[in-house]
Amino acid sequence: MTNVSDIATVILMIFGSFFFFAGTVGLLRFPDVHCRLHALSKADNIGLGFIAMGLMLQAESIPASLKILAIWLIALIASALTCFLLANWEIGDD
Amino acid sequence: MTDGIGLYDLLLGAALVGATWRALFGREPFGATVFFIAYGLLLSLMWVQLGAPDVALAEASIGAGLTGALLLGGIRQFERDDLLHAARGINRQNIFAGLLSFSLAATIILVLWDIRFFTDGISNLVRENQDTSGSSHPVTSVLLNFRGFDTWLELCVLLLAALAASIVRIANRNKLPKLSVQIPNKQITMIARTLLPILILIAGIMLWFGARAPGGAFQAGALLGAAGILLQLASQNVIPERSSWAFRVVLALGVATFTIVATSTILMGRNLLDFPPDWAGTLIFLIEVAATMSIALTLNVVYASNAPTGNVKAPQ
């Protein structure tokens, strides 16, 4: 049982790291603000989501894993907000 | 928190030094501030590595978050001010500030060098007296009981900061921009509505659990303060009139509660801030609640000290 969740954690973390890696590459390589935002928000939302899922499997209790879930949800809100603000600022219609 | 220094610690240390460098020697104020915020976040990760989650929470919320917001607000205000850009280069002021920082650093290094043999510090002393402190978390015991005097003075410093910020605002009131008919940003308003209850809830959790786990008045105050700043960004005038009673009472609440508690301990024939063990828990909680309110308001007053004057209506 422990083994199954350990393996799942490793796989989820690898997925998460991949999205962060891809997001960072996108941030550095993409040409303009909107493309970069697209790359960044992918890393923030999906990458962090996979990593949070992986950590939730390792949490010692259900409340602890729910707290990790809450961190992901709050990060989602913040990421969506900053993405909107930056995109609007770029268009110049704030 | 394993013993020894791992690869992660080395990477973290290198990133910390890099962020510090860019924050200090960055070309323009905005970039330097972004690196300052990154520096604060990396520093709080470092505190976690050192097994000090209390300090990490305080650093992340106050050091990185709120100070970052203050700096960004300052930049927005003084963007076109030559002074902000003229500060680099060598002049008399810079040399003076450099000398002061250098002597401070030298003093700290000397003190650290002196105490290098006391590997345990006061941790044994704290552990032995934990039962009488009114808190089961050593950091809270030290901050609010054993070394309550220091925290009292810290609150005095915050009060002075809030007063200074208010005075500067009054002195500058003719230079501050008048609020134009600016429509509050829709996204920020929406997010403020979503995040406000969460921030207040987490501040309450921080405050309540501060007695037995990492957290406490400063972290809770920072979260409440952040909630207020979010409201300010959404163009809601959250700060009561500075001459009102509510404003004055809340601003002074932390220092006042500390003073009242300290006076009562003397009147009871004990030493200053020497809490009776049966009451210690209640007194600590009272002080923490009062300090949380004062800290939250202080942070908002400082943040609002260069905000435009006037009111905006919330969008319908």
Residue-wise pLDDT for B54-97, tens only, equals 889 888 888 888 888 888 888 877 777 776 666 566 778 888 98
Residue B312: is its pLDDT beyond 50? Answer: no
Chain A residue numbers touching B194 (CB-CB < 8 A): 77
CA atoms within 13 A of residue A48's CA, in its CB half-sphere: 18
Report the pLDDT averaged over residues B119-133.
76
**Model confidence band, residue B246 (pLDDT cutoffs 50, 70, 90):** confident
Taking the CA of residue A8 and the nearest CA in chain B, the distance in Å comes to 23
Q: Please tell me the predicted confidence (pLDDT) of residue B316.
A: 38
Residues of chain B positioned with their CB less than 8 A from the CB of A73: none
Chain A residues closer than 8 Å to B185 by CB: 85, 94
Q: Give chain A's residues under pLDDT 70.
A: 1-2, 93-94
Nearest CA in chain B to A86: B187
pLDDT, mean over chain B: 83
Say yes or no: B200 contacts chain A, CB-CB below 8 A. Answer: no
The 10s digit of each residue's pLDDT in B6-39 is 899 999 999 999 999 998 887 788 888 999 999 9
pLDDT of residue B107 exceeding 50, the answer is yes
Burial of B44 (C-beta count, 10 Å sphere; 0-12/13-18/19+): buried
pLDDT band for position B315 (50/70/90)?
very low
- What residues of chain A lie within 8 A of the CB of B187, using their CB? 81, 84-85, 88
CB-count exposure of residue A63 (10 Å: 0-12, 13-18, 19+): exposed
pLDDT of B117 strictly over 80:
no
CB A23 within 8 A of CB A47: yes
Query: What single letter denotes the amino acid at residue B120?
Result: D
Find the chain A residues whose C-beta atoms sit closer than 8 A to any C-beta of B: 74, 77-78, 81, 84-85, 88, 94
A86 vs A36: CA distance, rounded Å: 11
Is residue B174 less than 8 Å (CB to CB) from chain A?
A: no
Whether B175 shows a pLDDT value over 80: the answer reads no
**pLDDT at residue number B313:** 45
Return the pLDDT at A53.
92
Residue A1: the pLDDT is 54
Min Cα separation A75/chain B (Å)? 11
Contact criterion met (CB < 8 Å) for A77 and B195? yes
Instruction: For residues B287 and B223, give the distance between their C-alpha atoms in angstroms, rounded to a whole number.
Output: 17
More confident residue, B141 or B158: B158
Say which residue, B43 or B315, is predicted with more confidence: B43
Mean pLDDT of B240-262: 88
| 3-state secondary structure (DSSP) of residue B309 | strand
* B185 in reach of chain A (CB within 8 A): yes
- pTM value is 0.81
Give the whole-number percent of chain B exceeding pLDDT 70. Answer: 87
Lowest mean pLDDT among B176-185, B212-221, B224-233: B176-185
Task: Kindly write down the DSSP assignment for every residue of B41-90, as one continuous string.
Answer: HHHHHHHHHTT-HHHHHHIIIIIIIIHHHHHHHHHHHHTT-HHHHHT-S-
Tell me if B194 and A77 make a contact (CB, 8 A cut-off): yes
Residues in chain B with CB shorter than 8 Å from the CB of A74 are: 195, 198
Looking from the CA of A84 toward its CB, the CA atoms found within 13 Å total: 14
Phi, psi angles (nearest 5°) of residue B90: -100, 120
By C-alpha distance, which of B254, B251, B246 is closest to B290? B254
Predicted pLDDT of residue B41: 94
Residues of A in contact with B72 (CB under 8 A): none
* B309: β partners: B178
Nearest-CA distance from A94 to chain B in Å? Answer: 7
Through-space distance between the first and last CA atoms of chain B, rounded to whole angstroms: 51
Residue B156, pLDDT > 50, answer yes
CB atoms near residue B14 (< 10 Å)? 11
* B256-268 core/surface letters (b: 16 or more CB in 10 A; e: else): ebbeebbeebeee
Rounded Cα gap, residues B140 and B134, in angstroms: 9
Determine the average pLDDT of the residues in B185-192.
80
Residue B174 pLDDT > 80, yes or no?
no
pLDDT digits (tens, 9 = 90+) for B263-310: 888 888 888 878 888 888 888 888 999 999 999 999 888 888 766 665
